[in-house]
Copies of this chain bind each other. A is one copy, B any other.
Amino acid sequence: MATVGIGIIGFGVVGGGVVDVLAKDRAVIAARTGADLELRAVVSLPPYQRTDVLGASLGKDLAAITNDPAIRIVLLLVGGTTFAKDMCLACLKAGKHVVTSNKALIAEHGDALFAVAKEHKVAIAFEAAVAGGIPIIGALRDGLAANRIESITGILNGTCNFILTMMEQKQWSYQQALAEAQRLGYAEADPTLDVNGTDTAHKLAILSRIAFGIRVPLAALRIEGIQNVTAQDMASAARLRSRIKLLAMATQRPEGLELHVAPTLVPLDHPLAAVHMNYNGVYVVGSNSGPQLYTGQGAGALPTASAVLSDVIDVALGRAEQTFGSFGFVHHPTPPSFLPEAEERTASYARFVSPDKPGILAGITQILSSKGISIRSIFQGEADAQGQASIELVTHPARGGDFLDAVAEIDRKQLTAAPTVCYRRL
């Protein structure tokens, strides 16, 4: 068994997790997989939270990695896309394989980096970039290699899922739940990229690339976050035997690929409804495999280290090079067409706040019917002190544009007294 030298760039939570796993289990991993991993250098900007690096060097100079011929694999564990991209390019050009957990880097600069990697005959691996410890990249790329992927529906951001779970279980407001997530370390001080759906979108772009063999410009993705989800929305969902989850969805339709990130009503009997707290879940439908569900912890030091090291082992054994060299990251025979929102097919939820007077319900249902939208269930409670009643309904799947047109017409005809709240429903 040959010893394989590795270097780490970025010594934060994930880097620390990798060191902890190697400290405890280097021999176990070697016995199991045939890959004996020797950490030789950690490159990170001081000050250092910790200095135990298993006898490796610790400093800020990248040359400790690029000039060490014994280091074959670099673990790029920093966030952002500017510094990370420079580091990645430097390592690839020095002939090092790169394993990274940086989803933004792969989603935004994957093409450029893959090209440089191929030129230098090294591999880039990024299992840790999506869904933390769940080996979903490997499953889509290798395990389901003999399928056409029909759809991917994912809960891909643990921060959002924690917040939504807290809102549901404790009847908290978004702000209360966010504060609790920050207190427990599930949300960062600036949670913007998590809660506004950007992080989820990066992950969806990566999964779509693997699953559908296409480039996914982030501009092709409709992205909606969870900041506007209210306690009332959660209660409405519960009454409809559903939960609100931030879903990333990629669906192959005959007319094109439908891609979006949005808070969505998930019926309780759908497997994704049971994915709680900081967990991630990915529901994949393959043409031969049928529907499958993968769930697990999507972030955190050790789950992410688990994914990073699975890639490192794959590279060390020579498998990743083989995969990276032959896998068609862009193999779709025709340039894909991305469906505009109007062309999506989706069931929807709407809550109309209306004056409690004759003709309102008839007006709303007539407009929906005129657009060809069929109502699956409807609920109206007593009017409140202001004489306003909430009418909540769920539609059968319909063309998204028709539904939005109907809602706009209902609002325009003054059948409502406040802006209508709409969600997709799975």
List the interface of chain A (C-beta within 8 A of B).
Answer: 1, 17, 21, 25, 28-29, 31-35, 127, 133-135, 138-139, 142-148, 213, 271, 274, 286-297, 300, 302-303, 305-307, 309-310, 312-314, 317-319, 322-323, 325-328, 331, 333
Residues of B within 8 A of A146 (CB): 21, 25, 29, 305-306, 309-310, 312-313
Q: Mind listing 9 A-B residue pairs with CB under 8 Å? A: A33-B145, A34-B325, A134-B289, A142-B319, A143-B310, A146-B313, A271-B274, A274-B274, A293-B294
Given A25-B287, A145-B309, A319-B322, 20 additional A-B pairs, CB 8 A: A17-B288, A21-B288, A31-B331, A33-B328, A133-B288, A133-B289, A135-B138, A135-B143, A144-B306, A145-B313, A146-B310, A274-B274, A288-B306, A289-B303, A290-B296, A292-B295, A293-B294, A293-B295, A317-B323, A319-B323
Q: How far is the CA of A274 from the CA of B276 in the complex (A)?
A: 14
Which of the residues B25, B32, B139, B306 comes within 8 Å of A328, measured between beta carbons? B32
Residues of B within 8 A of A310 (CB): 142-146
Residues of B within 8 A of A302 (CB): 287-290
Nearest chain B CB to A283 CB, angstrom units: 9
Q: Would you call A294 and B292 a contact (CB within 8 A)?
A: yes
**Nearest 7 A-B pairs (CB), nearest first?**
A135-B143, A34-B326, A146-B309, A292-B296, A133-B289, A288-B306, A288-B302
Residues of B within 8 A of A287 (CB): 25, 302
Q: Which residue of B lies closest to A133 (CB)?
A: B289
Q: How far is the CA of A302 from the CA of B147 in the complex (A)?
A: 10
Residues of B within 8 A of A312 (CB): 146
Which of the residues B34, B135, B148 comes within 8 Å of A327, measured between beta carbons? B34
Residues of B within 8 A of A35 (CB): 326
> Given A138-B143, A142-B138 in contact, is the A148-B290 Cβ separation under 8 Å?
no
Q: How far is the CA of A328 from the CA of B313 in the complex (A)?
A: 13
Which of the residues B213, B274, B288, B322 comes within 8 Å of A305, measured between beta carbons? B288
Q: How far is the CA of A312 from the CA of B32 in the complex (A)?
A: 23
Q: Which residue of B lies closest to A294 (CB)?
A: B294
Residues of B within 8 A of A142 (CB): 135, 138, 310, 313-314, 319
Residues of B within 8 A of A289 (CB): 133-134, 296-297, 302-303, 306-307
